[in-house]
C-alpha cells in the first residue's frame, strides 16, 4: 500500500521561526561551547527559539544550562531524572512554537553552519521533512582512531539497519539515524510518541514517513566522537530496542 498523500502546507511566513530542541545530559566538556555558538547563531530572515531540556546531569551540566536562563529566545526545561534522550526530545517537542523544528545535540559532532542549507527546502516550500546526512563521500560515518573495531561494528550496524528501514518503507536513504531531523511543526499533528532512548529516532522517522512525509537528505559536516569521548549509544542494549521499534512502529496503526 502506498503511503498517504501528505497535506500541502502553506508557504512559511515572511519571518519564520525555527525551534531548536537541545537534549542535555552529562555534556559538560562541550556544552558551553555548543550553547554559546547556538545562542549566538543568526539566520537571515529567521527567528530562533532554543529549547534546552536538561535531564538532571551528574557532571555539572545543569549549572551550565542555568547560566542561559533569561537569555532571549531560550526556554529551559528541567527534568527531575534522566529518562533517555528520546524522552528529553519528546518533552521539548511538546513546547515548540516554531514553524520548523530542528533537533540539536550538545556534543559538537554536528556543525551549526549547516543550518542555512538544511532550511533551504523549507523556504523554497519544496519539502516538509529534511535529514542532514553524515555520509559525505564516504561509506563510513564513524572513524575512531583509538577504537577502530567499535567504529567498524557501528558502521556495519548502520548499513544493516538502514537497509531494513529502506526496504520496509520503500525509501533510498543513506542516513536515516542522523540527529539532524528537521521538519515542519505541522508534521507532528495527530502523532504521539512513546520512545525514551535512541529508538526515538526510529519512531519519529517511521511515523513521519508513514504519514506521507518523504524526507530529502542534505549532506552535513560530521565529526564522530568515540565511546571514550562520551558517546552514549550502547552497542548491546540499543540494537534490540531498535529492532523492536521497527516492528512496533512500522506495523502498528498510526
User: Closest by alpha carbon to 114, among 190, 197, 37, 53?
Assistant: 37
Residue 2, domain member (yes or no): no
Residue 5, domain member (yes or no): no
User: Closest by alpha carbon to 201, among 167, 242, 240?
Assistant: 242
Question: Per-residue pLDDT averaged across 230-239, rounded?
Answer: 69
Domain count, the chain: 1
Question: Per-residue pLDDT averaged across 177-183, rounded?
Answer: 96
Domain harbouring 183, CATH code: 3.90.550.10
Range of the domain at 237: 17-251
For residues 147 and 67, the model is more confident at 67
Question: Per-residue pLDDT averaged across 223-249, rounded?
Answer: 77
pLDDT at 55 over 80: yes
* pTM of the full structure: 0.88
Residue 10, domain member (yes or no): no
Residue 59, domain member (yes or no): yes
Residue 1, domain member (yes or no): no
Residue 226, domain member (yes or no): yes
Angle at 66 between CA 61 and CA 70, to 5 degrees: 150
Amino acid at each position: 500500500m502506498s503511503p498517504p498523500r501528505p497535506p500541502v502546507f502553506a508557504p512559511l511566513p515572511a519571518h519564520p521561526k525555527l525551534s531548536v530542541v537541545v537534549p542535555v545530559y552529562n555534556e559538560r566538556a562541550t556544552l558551553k561551547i555548543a550553547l554559546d555558538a547556538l545562542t549566538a547563531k543568526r539566520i537571515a530572515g529567521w527567528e530562533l527559539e532554543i529549547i534546552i531540556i536538561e535531564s538532571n546531569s551528574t557532571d555539572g551540566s545543569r549549572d551550565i544550562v542555568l547560566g542561559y536562563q533569561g537569555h532571549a529566545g531560550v526556554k529551559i526545561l528541567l527534568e527531575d531524572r534522566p529518562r533517555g534522550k528520546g524522552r528529553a526530545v519528546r518533552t521539548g517537542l511538546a513546547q515548540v512554537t516554531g514553524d520548523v523544528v530542528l533537533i540539536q545535540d550538545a556534543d559538537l559532532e554536528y556543525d551549526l553552519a549547516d543550518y542555512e542549507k538544511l532550511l533551504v527546502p523549507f523556504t523554497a516550500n519544496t519539502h516538509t521533512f529534511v535529514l542532514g546526512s553524515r555520509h559525505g563521500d564516504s561509506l563510513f560515518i564513524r572513524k575512531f582512531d583509538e577504537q577502530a573495531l567499535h567504529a567498524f561494528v557501528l558502521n556495519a550496524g548502520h548499513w544493516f539497519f538502514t537497509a531494513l528501514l529502506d526496504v520496509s518503507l520503500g525509501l533510498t536513504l543513506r542516513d536515516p539515524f542522523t540527529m539532524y531531523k528537521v521538519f515542519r511543526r505541522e508534521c507532528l499533528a495527530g502523532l504521539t510518541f512513546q520512545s525514551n532512548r535512541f529508538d526515538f529516532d526510529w519512531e519519529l522517522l517511521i511515523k513521519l514517513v508513514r504519514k506521507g512525509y518523504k524526507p530529502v537528505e542534505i549532506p552535513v559536516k560530521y565529526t564522530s566522537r568515540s565511546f571514550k569521548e562520551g558517546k552514549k549509544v550502547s552497542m548491546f542494549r540499543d540494537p534490540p530496542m531498535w529492532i523492536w521499534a521497527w516492528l512496533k512502529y512500522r506495523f502498528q496503526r498510526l
